[in-house]
Structure 1
Amino acid sequence: MAVHRRSTPLRRPLALALAALLLPAAAMAQDQNAQPPQDQQPAAKAEGKAKDLDKIVVTGSLIPQTQVETFVPVTIISAEDIQARGFNNVAEVLQKSSFATGGVQNNQSSASFTQGAETLSLFGLSPSYVKYLIDGRPMANYPALYNGTDVFNNISGIPVDLVDRIEILPGGQSSLYGSDAIAGVVNIILKKNIDGAVLSGRIGGYDEGGGRSGRLSYADSFTSKDGRWNTLLGVQAEKVDPVWAYQRDLTKQFNQNAYNGAAPLASRDWLVYSPFTSYNFMDPNNCANVKAGFGGTEDLQTRPGFGDTHYCGSFYTPGYRTLKNEKESAQLYVHSTFDLNSDAQLYADVLLNQEKVKYHIGSNYVWWGTSVKWGYYYDPNLDDFLNLQRAFTPEDMGGWKNTMDENKSTSYAVTVGVNGTVGGNSNWDYDISISRTHYKLDEISLARLADPINDYFQQHVLGPQLGLDPYYDAYPVFTPDYAAFYTLMSPSDFYSFMGKTVSRSSTYDNLLRAQFTNGALFSLPGGDAGVAIAVEAGTEGWSYNPDPLLLDGKIWGTTAVSGSGSRSRYAVTGELRLPVWDKLTIATSARYDAFRAAGRTIDKPTYSLGLEYRPFESLLLRGKYGTAFKAPTLADQFQGVSGFYSFTTDYYNCALLGYDAGNVDQCPARYSNLNYFGQQSGNPDLKPINATVWSYGVVWAPTAKFSVSADYYHWNIKDEVALQNVDQLMRDEANCRLGTLDINSGTCQAALSQIHRGAAGTVQSIDVKKVNIASESLNAVALGVNYRQGLGAWGELNLSGNWTRNLKHEFQQYPGDPTIDLLNDPYWSTDPKYKASASAGWNLGRWTTTVYANYLGPTPNYRATLTPAGYGYAGAGRLGSYTTLNASVNFEVTQDLKLSLLVNNLANRMPTMDVRSYPGNSGAPYNSSNFDVLGRAYYLEAKWSFGKSK
């Protein structure tokens, strides 16, 4: 875009109302491709004469235009909204959006592959279906894979104090933005200039404990004497303490209010068990030597129906994990422009981010047992086959915080370019830039070394091997010292078999882009036609290199995902906007993308057609039809054959023993806590995921104080890449073998072929596959309302609200399978059907007060998710809606100093409504994808502006 801008007259109440209510800064904003700001114009006033609005570029079009609302609905969240509503970071802003109806893994998701990252799901679609932009350019992909398989963006490292606004564009947008833009586009626009310098500080913490935080930011603008060179420099630094599960009543111990009044079940921290006689309690001291474990809560426990029923355990082990990550981060941001002449300008943007995140996955994942190396051992004194299982306690390791996992990441995005006008008085503007993004991640863990840990316990507990068993001639014979097994160990002993692993991964994206735009190509009865043409070429790469110890099998019970790949890509984009007459505008765009890797080219054309019809000045009718796609990711194509160990439940063998899916906590440990070996790998023959998308809606703004909008969205997605969830696969296999699901269905055939059982019926290994085979369809409606009312001497009132409802969401994993109703079948999805947010702000003199509400519609309880019977299963039901409130008070002490008090989750709302649906062995009786137990938070903020121009 050129250095100067052209204005065209616009005197419509619709445009003025939306400019005043939705986008007060839009009339002077920079375009989505991080172009330099122009001379700022005041926002349109609520009353008085209409004014000309500068042409702007808002996400959803490449062509500058005067209309704030067009055929694509864009939700804009300003920096003022972010601060007033109490949001701590960009992730919170997006996750609280009414469009974010899908649950995602987060800090609470212990042992997930990306516990140190944050993302979101728009409309319940895959997190990887969202295209993230910073100033119109794609963000760097996070190197680790979501759920161990999918490429996504981490939105936790964006400096929120330096954000000017966030634009959310729902619906498929590939005809402008290419791959990934199926669910929508999120464009995070950083500040481009400020008047003087701004120093901001924020401190806070949680009412229930933990999570203390501090944030400091500084930004300043610099201008040369002749005004040709302008630079904005901004920095932000933040430190956040972890929140531990023991700091919350709901998660510090096993469920005290289990289904049907069942008693809580203590963890099995020291356990001897047999495949034939189940529990065998072998401690001559009745757990006396381990009583100091887990803060003195370890004791003799029982589980009725298990052999002699006894073991050593604690009710408080769930508390030893983090619910919110510890985090230290710093960002540096620079935006600079230099006017070569009146028709050309150089610009550069730099965003650097460094993060250190620490978390603990909990005691369930820090243990040792004989099963991994020996399967079972034979004890001739008992004439039985046995296994030992032993947890490690904070006392064993000299403090639980000593074994936290740590993720260190650095990323940068650098762009240099030139923009201007072709040939002085020409209507053609150009923008040519080259960008590079790079994301590097080091995952550091304290791991159990396979040979040293086994050798330690053989030396101290098992003793020498005495041959092979007399029955199968396959299992080792030991006569363990059981008293030695039931003891704590010294930290020096613990660290003698522990070692550090460092897995390194990275992504990069290089992009050369040229765009040519003409906002007045030719005249039509409704105004000037506009056109934009863009060409892109670049390369991208991904590599994930686990610590060699993980790949060599030298880490006990753990392996890793690995792989690497690169590809080149290019694209051509065209957009045409035709105001055929003053009431009707037609907009169309088309794009061609091609990706070349490993001698194979994957290409895809996409298009869209949009209409804007204004039957009268205050009403806009709009619609859009088009296509979208997602190219196979480098991880999809190049992920190596990767093994992994994890835990699952053998629902089939539990059912054979009389324990259905709702009672697996009573099932023997060898089935209810099955340690299995799995494998997954990439598929270089994957095709793109394809989608047909359309939307239509209405915007009505009868006055400059009030506007309301309603939009309907539709997706039809084909050729989706399916990678099964292991727990779901195990439940499917059990229901297939038990006759609950049709054994001839595609789901059953896949489950039976991927779960490998030995002759005795025990699971040997599980394969997880990626294939282009799934399909999905979704219909949704979104409503928005904005109202502003002057109160005279009582100030001004501002109200806004957004509501999103998924009307239909269906999924088919394999051809021939029944279509799954994701909105009404809780066995497959726990997402709410609808979500809403509302904000009420009152301004009086130097005081501004805001109350923000976030509303989540009804969701299924835990019992409803356990079997295909869904809501028909005993104890199944729906949970009521869930609302949390944030409140803030801002006071301008002086013209340059503002103080703020913010309280999030004002009523300290906790997700306690489902505890009676969970079993007694649950340490987190709530759905962590939809809720959190962080509770009420307080923040104090001060913002000082100085050095303003007079």
Structure 2
Amino acid sequence: MPDALNAYAQQADVQIFFPSEKIASIRSVPIKGKLKTDEALRRLIAGSGLEIARKSGGTIMLRAASEPARKASGATVVSNEPIVVTGSRIARTEEDTSTPVSTIDRTLIEASGSIVLEDVLTRQPQYSGGFTSRSNNPGTGAAQIDLRGLGSNRNLVLVNGRRYVFFGQDQVTDINVIPAALVERIETVTGGSSAVYGSDAIAGVTNFILRDDFEGIEARAQLGGDTRGDGQTYSLDLTAGTNFADDRGNFVISGSYYKRDGIRQAARAYAGRVLDDGYDENWNPALVETGSLRSPDGSFSYIPYGDQLLQPGMEGLRDALSAAGLADIGPTGFTFDGAGSDARVHNDPADRYNYALLNYLQTPAKRYGVSAFTHFDASDALTLYGEFSYYRNEVDMQLAEANLAGTMRFDVTNPYVSPEMNEVFRQLDLLETGDAYNDGLVSLRVNRRFTEFGPREALVVRDSYRAGGGIRGDLGDLGGQFLRNVHYDLNYFYSRADSSTHLNNMVSYSGLAAGILSVDGADPLVNLFGAGGISDEAVRQLKIDTSNPTETELQVASAIVTSDVAPLPAGPLSMSLGFEWRSAYARSSSDPALESGDAVGFDAYSPTEGEVNVYEIFGEMRLPLLSEESPIGRVTANGAFRYSDYDLTVANGVWTYLGGLEWAPVPGLNLRGQWQHAVRAPNIGELFGGQSADRPRATDPCADPSAAADPTLRDLCIATGVPANLVGSPIVQTGGRVDALYGGNPDLDVEKSDTYTFGFTLAPRAVPNLRVSVDYFHIEVKDAISMLAGGVESTLDLCYNVIQDPASDVCQAIRRDPADGVIAAPYSILATYTNIGKLETSGIDFGVSWSQPLAFGIGGNDSHLAIDIRGTWLEKYAITPVQDLPDQVYECEGAFGLTCGGPFPRFKTASRITWSSGGLMLSAQHRHLSAVTDDRILVPARSGESGPTKADLAAPVMGSRDYVDISVSYEVGRTGLTFFGGVNNVFDVDPPIVADSQQQANTYPSTYDALGAEYFVGAKLRF
């Protein structure tokens, strides 16, 4: 609070206080006393760079004035004005807290030009690139933020300090259903806050503070896109609010519409082809163009070749293959040049299919919705409030056409191949054993792309609802010197999300299996031999469209009381005590085709239904030990606890607690530290999730040629299902992916974490408006809940390169097609959830902010300069994938790849400089990500094991990236009209390119700017 207002308050007998709800809502300072206002107070308010937000009874709510009002008054707002921040339920300021908090205010949000909130956060140093709403394969159509790289399920998302609607069985919030037009600021607690907010805040809390006290009308329209001319975005927001009942109540409603055009990978040279780690003509490592063996012409294998044809009894087949022109057949079999043509040897990689062209780099999306907030101050002791929101998201994802990798039975006399090939089929039938011997049918391994059906389309439609309200109030002083400033809040909120994923242009497996066979001597319905061979009639009969609906519900009822409990020499002892009940429910089901596994290329989906209820009591204490007048300055201790009683056997009574200390030895310097112990109970998906299929990127060691030369690895591959003659053959893995089945595990234990942070904030009086913060963090999650061994790539690595025991859990989870050892549905890796060993991360966050009024400007006005620098140095990110192997640790800092995920740059910064004068504002931001190295190199090297070097890989390092963003806005006088625009990634920097170790589109689109330079222009009108 400015000194002049403090002096006025003392003279006029006006009390200044900081109730958390109102400050957190509108970033304001309330002045309460006998006077509503007078001319002297008005002048002081204007001269302090503030303005009256609203009046309620004897309370005047103040907030930072608009730019024109500040310039007209000649005032400058002090950048270090205290506000109540996230991380505690006891009112305190950003400088006066033991846990580090990072704040992004509305000015920074608008300067970024980001229409979607995920872009604002993923560009901040503390966040890692998870799956965004742009992600296509895999993707959910939702924006899931990932704090510290510990997973979106370990970062709690709040809106105005309360839990928000989640979607899916993993209970994760899609942050793009939060009304961006109403966001006043975003506060991130980067050191964990489970004791204060709940168990899923292990990595921290992201709290979106909304403008729920708005008066007037504000309209905002924005157009954006890529400077290459594609991927346009459109948004329109309209917000209206009014006071009522002599300014004791307020109602605000905000509606928004957002549309985004899609961009296919074919539109970017780096993404429009399938890249693989390979070699050039001189056998130097190189990124080579490749593709999928599942091509439109098809490849047909499971046929003896090479030395196998020299064995006794193979004479007939050898002669038949020679007559058909297939004497040189290899492990990948034969293919065709088109429907009805003769067969030829399948030549790898010339016959591979480029599936990248049809995939989306940016998925098309549409979103619209409305949010409403209201409150009414019946008295100082009673405020009634309510909230409602509804949002609908529609996201289109697209993949290349359905594809088949499996063994099927064909008629020996199939009419769609040449007589020579019919003889090959007959000879193969004579080599089969048991009931299959000479039965007129032949088994062939089929790899085929069904281009006749068109690309697979996945439309995700999600409706999200949230409604609730409560009562709160200030009860004042209840016990003389004790129980002062008592505040209470009781509320209940109900949230629901109804989602459905519609998968179109799928192929029925049962229909296909029947359709390739003759019925009563008639020609088969389906001709799989060659591209375009499937007739329109066959397409009509075999095409199926599927759906996978999901519904989720969240109910939260809470009550909290805060108070200055007792006076102490150094200040009041402040405490809070609360109760919370939560009920989370999720149910998903599939149509019969998905549930039975009848969709080609997919394992059977199992339904999911589960509910988790928890009753919690929690408390917090703030204990001043020494005041500012003591010889060593102000010292304050704080602590918090939370007792959670889940209706789960493993978590029917668990404790979370923290302790912290703040020390301000001199004015402007605050030293802080905090330790927290947290327990996270498994969520619905981790416990009750039914089986669901995916095709993650992974490398099968048994498909590497070196496997055939390594006796131990060769024997292990054979023991886990690879035919002896195919060990080391490329047919064992037909692309850079394998099929996996995910699912829940009702026997999961809770995961436990310990977090400690320590650092300081510095705001020296000798340098006005300068603030420096530095904080060290260390988070360790034991018994972490994850997929088996931490992921599919880790499962393969542990089985074949580390444990090397076919009876081990990781090896037993690997299932292979007995015909050729391929890991493809219905023979998928079982990647169910389990308690792995440990996750651990540590590093240093730092920030510098400084602002300065300048004596020059435009049109006779003064100007203002502001600098904001944020950064994170990552000391450690380590994964211990198996509890029984504590020494097997993947050290992933500075790495990326299929084992570590990531990327995890050691150094990330986001720095912004802003200059404003009159109604003009110019802003520029620099973003930096340091280089990262392929984990195939780093992980074994850091473990003292042998592995590839940089010279062995074509793209061993993704180099550092530096992006520059610029923006400008101009407020036209006092009209309330503002024009704005800008360009992000102004120098059109391309993302780094990799092959086998990629996330999507030969890079990591959720970490790096994948589209190039993106512009935005728009206007805002406030009246």
TM-score interval (norm. to shorter): 0.7 to 0.9
Does residue 564 (structure 1) correspond to residue 609 (structure 2)? The answer is yes
Q: Give the partner amino acid of 1:159.
A: P
Confirm whether residue 901 of structure 1 aligns to residue 981 of structure 2: yes
Match of 2:375, SS? Answer: strand
Q: How many angstroms apart in 1 are the aligned matches of 2:183 and 2:727?
A: 48
Distance 1:809 1:354 in 2: 37
1:41 to 48, 52, 62: 62
Distance 1:689 1:373 in 2: 48
1:419 positional shift: 0.8
Question: CA offset at residue 314 of structure 1?
Answer: 6.9
Residue among 631, 635, 638 paired with 1:587 = 638
> Shift of the alpha carbon at 1:616?
0.7
- Alignment partner of 1:849 is 2:922: yes
Residue 406 of structure 1: CA displacement? 0.5
Q: 1:537 aligns with which of 581, 590, 598?
A: 581
Q: How many angstroms does 1:538 deviate by?
A: 3.1
Query: What is the CA deviation profile of residues 668-714 of structure 1, one whole-angstrom value per residue up to 9, with x for unaligned ones?
Result: 33433499775444222322211111111111111332111100111
| Aligned partner of 2:673 among 609, 620, 623 | 623
Show the counterpart of 1:781. Answer: 844
Structure 2 distance, partners of 1:238, 1:301, is 51
- Answering whether residue 512 of structure 2 is matched by residue 453 of structure 1, we say yes
Higher Cα Rg, which structure: 2
Q: What residue number does 1:121 align with?
A: 146
Matching residue's letter, 1:198: E
* Aligned pairs for 1:612-651 within 5 A: 612-640=662-690, 649-651=699-701
Instruction: Confirm or deny that 1:371 pairs with 2:407.
Output: yes
Instruction: From the superposition, tell whether residues 537 and 254 of structure 1 become closer, same or farther in structure 2 (CA, over 3 Å).
Output: closer
For residue 15 of structure 1, what is the aligned residue in structure 2?
A: none
Conserved 8 A contact 1:333-1:350: yes
Structure 1 residue 863 displacement after superposition: 6.5
Q: Does 2:411 correspond to 1:358? A: no
The amino acid across from 1:858 in the alignment is A
Residue 342 (1) aligns with residue 380 (2):
yes
SS in 2 for 1:161: helix
Partners of 1:804 and 1:713 lie apart in 2 by: 10
- Taking CA–CA contacts closer than 8 Å with sequence separation of 6 or more, which of the two structures ends up with the larger relative contact order? 1
Change (3 A) 1:389 1:871: closer
What whole-Å deviation, never above 9, does each CA across 1:373-421 have from its counterpart, x for those lacking one?
789999643534633333233xx34x65xx4210111112212101113
From the superposition, tell whether residues 658 and 251 of structure 1 become closer, same or farther in structure 2 (CA, over 3 Å).
farther
Q: Of 525, 538, 546, which aligns to 2:569?
A: 525
Gap runs ≥5 in structure 1: 1-5, 11-18, 145-149, 291-299, 467-477
Secondary structure of 1:793 counterpart: coil
In the superposition, relative to structure 1, how do residues 825 and 694 fare at CA in structure 2: closer, same or farther (>3 Å)? Answer: same
Cα separation, 1, equivalents of 2:591 and 2:245 = 54
Instruction: Call closer, same or farther: CA 1:753–1:255 in 2, change over 3 Å.
Output: closer
- The structural deviation recorded for 1:603 is 2.3
1:111 paired residue among 130, 137, 142: 137
Indicate the SS of the match to 1:187.
strand
Distance 1:42 1:556, change over 3 A: closer
Distance in 1 (alpha carbons) for counterparts of 2:727 and 2:163: 46
Q: 1:134 to 1:871 in 2, by over 3 A?
A: farther
- Residue from 149, 153, 156 that aligns with 1:131: 156
Call closer, same or farther: CA 1:39–1:910 in 2, change over 3 Å.
farther
- Specify the SS of the correspondent of 1:735: helix
Q: Alpha-carbon deviation of 1:362?
A: 2.8
* Contact 1:343-1:424 at 8 Å conserved across structures: no
Q: How many angstroms does 1:273 deviate by?
A: 2.9
- Asked if 2 retains the 8 angstrom alpha-carbon contact of 1:287 and 1:312, the reply is no
Does residue 790 of structure 1 match 2:853?
A: yes
Could you say if the C-alpha distance between residues 76 and 657 of structure 1 is closer, same or farther in structure 2, counting changes exceeding 3 Å?
Answer: closer
Moved more, 324-333 or 153-162: 153-162
Specify the alignment match of 1:487 in structure 2.
532
Aligned partners of 1:612 and 1:622 also within 8 Å = yes
2:190 maps to what in 1?
A: 170
- Equivalent pair of 1:886/1:905 in contact (CA under 8 Å): yes
Partner of 1:388: 446
Match of 1:859 among 912, 916, 932: 932
* Aligned mates of 1:51, 1:730 — CA distance in 2: 55
Q: Distance in 2 between matches of 1:111 and 1:457?
A: 30
8 Å CA contact 1:810–1:820 kept in 2: the answer is: yes
Are residues 1:231 and 2:231 paired? Answer: no
Q: CA deviation at 1:436?
A: 1.0
Please report how far the alpha carbon of residue 140 of structure 1 lies from its aligned counterpart in structure 2 after TM superposition.
2.5
The 5 Å alignment of 1:73-112 reads 73-100=100-127, 102-106=128-132, 109-112=135-138
More off after superposition, 444-453 vs 178-187: 444-453
Aligned 8 A contact 1:54 1:66 in 2: no
2:952 corresponds to 1:875: yes
How far residue 622 of structure 1 moved from its aligned partner, in angstroms, is 0.7
How big is the shift at 1:301? 13
Counterpart of 2:319?
Answer: none
Which residue, 546, 549, 556 being the options, matches 1:511?
556
Change (3 A) 1:570 1:29: farther
Q: 1:730 to 1:683 in 2, by over 3 A?
A: closer
Shift of 1:165: 0.9
Does the 8 A contact of 2:493 with 2:555 survive in 1? Answer: yes
Counterpart of 1:837 (choices 891, 910, 917) is 910
Cα–Cα, structure 1 residues 548 and 659, in superposed 2: closer, same or farther, change >3 Å? Answer: farther
In 2: Cα distance, 1:496 partner to 1:826 partner: 45
Give the whole-Å Cα distance in 2 for the aligned partners of 1:872 and 1:448.
43
Does the alignment pair 1:935 with 2:1000? no
1: CA distance between counterparts of 2:7 and 2:407?
74
User: What is the root-mean-square deviation in Å for CA atoms of aligned residues?
Assistant: 4.1
**Secondary structure in 1 matching 2:979:** strand
Q: State the alpha-carbon separation in 1 of the partners of residues 894 and 79 from structure 2.
A: 49
Question: Closer, same or farther in 2 for the Cα pair 1:215/1:444, shift >3 Å?
Answer: same
Give 1:751's match in structure 2, choosing from 782, 804, 810.
810
Q: Distance in 2 between matches of 1:889 and 1:909?
A: 21
CA positional deviation for 1:883: 1.5
With normalisation by structure 1, the TM-score equals 0.83
Partner of 1:60: 87
The answer to whether the 8 Å contact 1:27/1:55 transfers is: no
Partner SS, residue 175 of structure 2 = coil
Q: 2:326 corresponds to which residue?
A: none
1:742·1:748 contact (CA, 8 Å) conserved in 2?
A: no
Deviation at 1:568, TM superposition (A): 2.2
Counterpart Cα distance in 2 of 1:833 and 1:29: 43
How many angstroms does 1:372 deviate by?
Answer: 6.2
| Pair 902,227 (structure 1): closer, same or farther in 2 beyond 3 Å | same
Deviates more, 1:769-778 or 1:130-139: 769-778
Residue 924 of structure 2 contacts residue 964 of structure 2 at CA under 8 Å; is this kept in 1?
Answer: yes
Structure-2 change in CA distance of 1:657 and 1:710 (3 Å): closer
In the alignment, is residue 418 of structure 1 matched against residue 418 of structure 2?
no
Q: Does 1:723 find its partner at 2:759? A: no
How far apart in 2 are the matches of 1:786 and 1:943? 27
Task: Report the CA distance shift for 1:480/1:940 in structure 2 as closer, same or farther (over 3 A).
Answer: closer
Asked if structure 2 preserves the Cα contact closer than 8 Å seen for 1:272 and 1:279, the reply is: yes
Distance 1:491 1:75 in 2: 59
Counterpart Cα distance in 2 of 1:676 and 1:169: 38
Residue matched to 2:869:
801
Distance 1:625 1:490, change over 3 A: same
Q: Is contact 1:888–1:900 with CA below 8 Å preserved after alignment? A: yes
Deviations 1:760-813 (A, max 9, x none): 782655322322242122221100000112221132211111110121222212
- Shift in CA distance, 748/879, structure 1 to aligned 2, threshold 3 Å: farther
* 2:460 alignment partner, one of 407, 426, 429: 407
